[in-house]
Structures are given as C-alpha cells and as structure tokens.
Structure 1
Amino acid sequence: MHAPDLSLSSCISTLISTTMSTTPTLASSSRGRGRSAPTGSSRTPPRSPSRSPSRSPSRSPSRSPSPSAASSSNPTELKCIFTAVVKNYPGDRAPVRVDDHSADVPNHEAVAQFAWNQFNRYIKARATKGPDGKWFLDTTKPDRDWDAEIDDYIQVYVGPKKHYFVKAASTTQERITEKKFKNWLKSGSKEISLTINKYGNEIKTADDFTAFKKDVASEFSETTRGHAPSNNVIKDIARRLKEVHGADFAARDIVWMIWAAWIMEEHSELEIEEAIQMPPPLDIMRLTQPVFEPTHSLLDALRNVSSLSRDTIEGVRAPLVTLRQEFRRVTDAYQQFGRMIETLARRFEALELVLETETRIQDNWEQVLDNLEGYEGWLSGMQYQDDTDHAARRRR
C-alpha cells in the first residue's frame, strides 16, 4: 500500500474541488442583485428596519399645474401700451398727439428699445447752443439705431410719476429697472405715457424756442411776394446739397435746385438742416446719375482684392493642414480610448467572477474547516495504521 501525497498544495486543491462540487451554482443570479447565503452558512441575515414608511391608500398623488395655468400665473412678457405726444420743447403747451403702439416685451431693457424704435422718427436733429450763444442743429444726433441719451429726447410717465429709461433716478423720480418690471408682470399690462421732445431738452422756454427758430431758420425765411421761398434760398440749399451728396450723385444744376425746392415744400424751416443730410427721394434720384470711378482705379482695386485673396488662402492653408492632422490624431486617440474602455470592461467582468468565487469560498468556509478536521482525523488514522503495520513487521 502506497502512502498518499501529503503535500500542502495537493491538500488545498482537493479541498477546493470538494467545496466547489458541493456549492450551489450562482450563474442564474442576475448581476447587481444581492446574493443570498447558501444553506449551512453562518451569516446572520440583515435586520429589517424597525419602521417602514407606509403610504395611505386614501391619498391621491399631487397634480402638477397645466402649462396654460403655469403661464397665466407666471407670465414672462408684459403688454406695454404706449401713448405719446410730441413737443417742440419740454415746456411746449401745444403738444401733438401721435398714434399709440403696444407690444409684448420680455424685460425692462426691451421697453426702452421698443419705445425708441417706434418713436425716434418724431425726433429731429438736436438743438444745441454754441459758445457764442447762438443756437444750431447738431445733425450728428441722435443715433437712429439706439441712443443712450434716450431720456434727453423722451420723457416717461407711468401713472403720475416720471421715470427714466437709462439715467439714474433721483429721490423724487424713478427708473425702469428689472425689479420694477417684475412687479409690473403681475398685472399683465402697463400703460406708459411718453412725451417726445422733438429737438432734445436744451430748449427750456418759449423764448428759447423763438431764439432757436431765429438762429436756425432765419436764412431760410426769405420769401417772395407770394410767400414762396426766394430764389436765393433755393440756390443756397442746392449748393449745400451738392456739397453733401456731390461725391455720390452727378446731376445738372437744375436737378439740385429741384431737390432744394422739394425740401422747402415738404419740410418746415427747422427741419431743412436735417433734410439736407438725407438721401434724395426716388423721383429725384431718377434724375441723377451715380458717380463712377475711372476704369484703371477699378482694375487696381480688383488686383488688390485678388492679391489679398491669394495671400489669405496661402495663410489659411497651413493652419488647415495642421488642423487636419490634429483631427486625425484626436480621432486615433478616441479610437484607442474606446479599445481601452473595452479592455477595462473585460477586466471588470473577470474581476466580478473572481469576487463571486471568493464570496462562495467565504460563505462555505466552515464547510472547508470541517473538511480539514476530517482530513486531520484521517491523517492520524493513516499514521496509526502505518505504525501498527511497522510494528507487526518487526515482530515477524
């Protein structure tokens, strides 16, 4: 009879194979769920909570407000109704009422922008007093797109109180701010009264306005016996039109005079300065011809444009090549990153299998210990049997 292999590695291999054969399989358990200990495990099951939340069957789930109800309770736009009058100066007692306008505006800044877009056509060139004490029209103001000095041209009243669009308000005056706009939203609409100062706010009194008209319109006030503009006035306006627009339009002298006569007929004396700066109406533009540059100047301009285009293309080509290379490098790195993710996923799966095996071994460790105790008893018996056989052989 041969003695069995008593090496430690062979013993452990035998024990693990025995344990695996007696352990129930866990292949059917889905990942992510808690593992239950097999029969014979010494693990204590987790305690259930002493108090579990209970739901009252009589309670119904809370209902969320409908979109229409939410929009009506929390409006995001304010309906502004603008009424406006136009004055020659702030103290003018004969204002002219203009058409009302309304709009749905989303914020306090849009209130000022809408008011400017709708009513700046009633504002003329700004009346300014020079260092010599004489009035003149500053045709560079206002800026028609948006003028930050809107409060110098348009006075705002919400109810009896005067407000400002942009300027900082004083203790007795208020400014249209974001906070005030949010309070207005609760009412859904707001009526805003505007007083438009046609020439700005530097003209304060009727005497100032009279002096302003005298200084600005005196040169255009000369008339014939029939109260028509005199020939000198027409010629002077035609000369100034040619100075302003001569670089853009070519026409005979009679056309410039027709244009000047149209300005005198369609505009008041105070609006002539601003009208001279404006382009001609379509009927008069048809009588003019655009001014063309000589042919060689156009060719030179085309050559310059072609040269600039070629230089631009050459300058852009190298960055494009670099960008293409960088894009290719990023694409390769992204693909490599994807492969690394797949490798990590496989390793995590293998690690999960190892952890499951370790868990099964830990759960059945008592059984392993029992097997080890049985193995020790068997080993003692085998040792005793060997000693007995050896003693018997010696007696012989």
Structure 2
Amino acid sequence: MSFDQWLALNDLGRSRTSNRASPRVSPYPQRDRTPPQRLQDEASPATNAASPSAHRTAAQHRLQLVIQPIVKNTIGQRDTSGEAPDVFAVNGATFNDIMRKIWTKFSCRVKRQAVKRDGTWSVEEPLEQAWSKVMQFKSGRHLVDSTKNSQAWNRWIASTRGETVKLMIYQYGLAIAKAQDLEEFLTACIRRVQTDRSGAAAESSLQEVVEELKEIWRATFQADPIVWRMWANNIVRSMDRSTWNREILRAPPDYIARLLRPAGVEVDRHLSSLTRSARLALDCVNASLADNEAQSQHNEVQRQLITRQKERLLQRKSTIEIFLADIPLPSINDVEDPLERIENVEDIDHEE
C-alpha cells in the first residue's frame, strides 16, 4: 500500500468516527483549527500565480526599525532630560523608505535648522534630504555614523533587528552643541530684537511684517491698513521669531479672511473710478466749450447792438447838420445893440 492510499483510508476512518461521535459538551467555545499549509513547492497553481504580489508585500516589509525618539535642545543635553515620545516601529523595503516615514512622523519636532557661517547665526528650513543635520541615530552608547551609503544603512538596520535604537531629534539641528550656542542663536534669530515696554513687538517689527505681508499677498488680497496690521499682530504674537516667515506664507486666519477683498474686485473698482473721473473731466470740458460758444453768441449780439446804435447816432448827427445848414445865423454886424434903444429913466427913489 502506498503512502497516499494510507492517507486516504485514514481520512475515511476519521470521518466515519466523527459521524458516530456524541455531541460536544464543553464550557469553552469551539475553535476551528486551520489545516497545515503546504510548502511553497507543493502549492497549487493558483497559489503560485498569486506569489508575486505576496513577494512584493514581503519585500515592502523586509526591513524593520524600532526607535525611541528623544527630542533635545542641544547635543550636549543629557538624554534623560530630553522629551521622549512613544516608541515607534517602522517597516520598509530600504533605508530610504524607512527614513521617509520617520521624517513624516517626527519632522514637526524640528523647529528650525540653525546655521553658523563666519560667526553669524542664521535660520534655514530643515529638509528631508538633509535629515542628518537635525537627527542622529544612537545604538547603545554610541552615535551611528550618518555618512553611510544606502547599502550600508540597509545592513545596519538588518543588524538591529530585535533592538530599540534611539533617534536623537534636535530642535535646532546639530549646529547647537551646547547651551551657550543655544542662547546665542536664540538671541540672534529667535527672540524678538525690539519690544516695547509691555514686552510686545515694537512698532518697527510690526511694520516690517506688514510690509512682507503686502509684498506676498497684495496680488491676491486687498484690505484697509488696519486689517494688514491685525494680520501682522496675529503673527508677531509668537515669541519665536523664526516662525514669522512660515506664518506669513500661510493663508490668513478665518477672522482676517473675512475682512479681505479679492484683488480683482479692487482692480475693477479702481478702473471704474478712473473711468468715472475721466468722464467727469470730459463733461467739464464740454460744458466749458458750450459756455464759450454761448458767450461768443452773446458777444455777437452785443456787437450787432453796438453797430446799430452807432448807425442811429450817425443818422441823428446827419439830421442836426442838415438842420444847421438850412438855418444860417445872422452876421454879428447885422445885429443891433438893444441898449441904445432903451430910454434912461431917472432914479427918483434914491434922491435925497
């Protein structure tokens, strides 16, 4: 008897025995056991057809890294004094896949990347490609070299299977080695340089943010000066000066957005105002031309009246001259003196 025939008879005997078995009595729930799986070589054609997707899924989780994040201000700060979030386990096909997931999870813990060039501190945005400038792995008591290539990183992750690796996350990057460096950087780039007596942002700082807001958002929004100042005040309220540029690039808060007007509406309104002003000026010119024409007509009437008056005066002058010509005056020699003909009456009233 072959082995396969023996298995068939054994299964048949079990089925008969199970059919004659008494009902199951147990205080515990019955569990359906999964039959043993065959090896890959003995699998059915359907299983072999689905194996590529299974291989891809297995490849995506080929590497696993378990990390204990520790957020620190400086490199010299003790690990025990740093903030320790929950342990994070991540899978991936390569180290780059794993690092991309780690960056997505913990990049929010990095506030800014401090950079010191020629003794001057400056601030840069941390990038995923330059994660080694703000993060560091630590296995046991030793820091892991961050200059490995991809293959070396893959081998290192494989060697840490079953272990928990520390991930040092520096809020301002690896350039801050000690507390003195942190204080110098905060004074130069983070803390407000100018404040008023109450500790709020000074007028110069507020006006600087207003100008930056207008420079970036003027093509999109239009608003009254007080609205720009309200928006700027909302930004400078944070004591962290390094966050101002990021907040300026963000969309305005809801209570500010309600006070803003689209730039296109303002342009249309401005063009309409210019058109109305131009038309008003044209109406004024046309009215002046009409007044000039009326004055010219009035002057023409006055000229005609003056001409007619002159003609009447000339006619009267001619009439008087003709009259004088018809009645000539007598000669002075022909006029007699009436005194010679008057009798001299004696004055008797005044005689004595």
Instruction: Write out per-residue CA displacement over residues 73-104 of structure 1, whole angstroms, 9 at most, x where no aligned residue.
Output: x9652554443232233224553334554444
Q: 1:229 aligns to what SS in structure 2? A: coil
- Which residue of the other structure, out of 196, 203, 206, is the alignment partner of 1:234? 206
- Which residue of the other structure, out of 156, 174, 186, is the alignment partner of 1:213? 186
Alpha-carbon distance change, 80 to 208 in structure 1, aligned in 2, over 3 angstroms: same
- Which residue of the other structure, out of 174, 179, 196, is the alignment partner of 1:201? 174
Cα distance in 1 between the residues matched to 2:223 and 2:152: 50
Q: Shift of the alpha carbon at 1:58? A: 5.5
Instruction: Write out per-residue CA displacement over residues 13-46 of structure 1, whole angstroms, 9 at most, x where no aligned residue.
Output: xxxxxxxxxxxxxxxxxxxxxxxxxxxxxxxxxx
Q: Shift of the alpha carbon at 1:111? A: 1.2
Alignment of 1:296-307 (within 5 A): none
Q: Using CA pairs under 8 Å that are at least 6 residues apart, name the structure with larger relative contact order, 1 or 2.
A: 1
| TM-score, normalising length: structure 2 | 0.51
Cα distance in 2 between the residues matched to 1:242 and 1:127: 27
Kindly tell me the number of residue pairs found equivalent between the two proteins: 221
Cα distance in 2 between the residues matched to 1:96 and 1:245: 38
- Which residue of the other structure, out of 136, 146, 155, is the alignment partner of 2:122? 136
Alignment of 1:284-363 (within 5 A): 284-292=256-264
Cα distance in 2 between the residues matched to 1:177 and 1:199: 25
Give the aligned residue type for 1:148: Q
* Bigger Cα Rg: 2
Give the aligned residue type for 2:122: F
Give the aligned residue type for 1:108: F
Give the aligned residue type for 1:168: K
Q: Shift of the alpha carbon at 1:137? A: 1.5
Q: Shift of the alpha carbon at 1:113? A: 0.6
| TM-score, normalising length: structure 1 | 0.46
Give the fraction of aligned pairs with identical amino acids, expressed as a percent: 21
Pair 1:271-2:249 in alignment? no
Structure-2 residue corresponding to 1:97: 84
Structure-1 residue corresponding to 2:331: none
Q: 2:197 aligns to what SS in structure 1? A: coil
Structure-1 residue corresponding to 2:39: 64
Structure 2: stretches of 5+ with no match in the other structure: 8-36, 269-352
Q: Shift of the alpha carbon at 1:254? A: 1.9
Cα distance in 2 between the residues matched to 1:241 and 1:220: 20
Instruction: Write out per-residue CA displacement over residues 31-78 of structure 1, whole angstroms, 9 at most, x where no aligned residue.
Output: xxxxxxxxxxxxxxxxxxxxxxxxx945999952689xx99xx96525
Pair 1:262-2:246 in alignment? no
Pair 1:113-2:104 in alignment? no
Q: Shift of the alpha carbon at 1:148? A: 1.6
Cα distance in 1 between the residues matched to 2:189 and 2:136: 25
Pair 1:250-2:222 in alignment? yes
Alpha-carbon distance change, 257 to 92 in structure 1, aligned in 2, over 3 angstroms: farther
Structure-1 residue corresponding to 2:330: none
Cα distance in 1 between the residues matched to 2:140 and 2:58: 22
Alpha-carbon distance change, 90 to 241 in structure 1, aligned in 2, over 3 angstroms: farther
- Which residue of the other structure, out of 114, 137, 141, is the alignment partner of 1:127? 114
CA contact (8 A) 1:151 1:164 kept: no
Cα distance in 1 between the residues matched to 2:144 and 2:239: 32
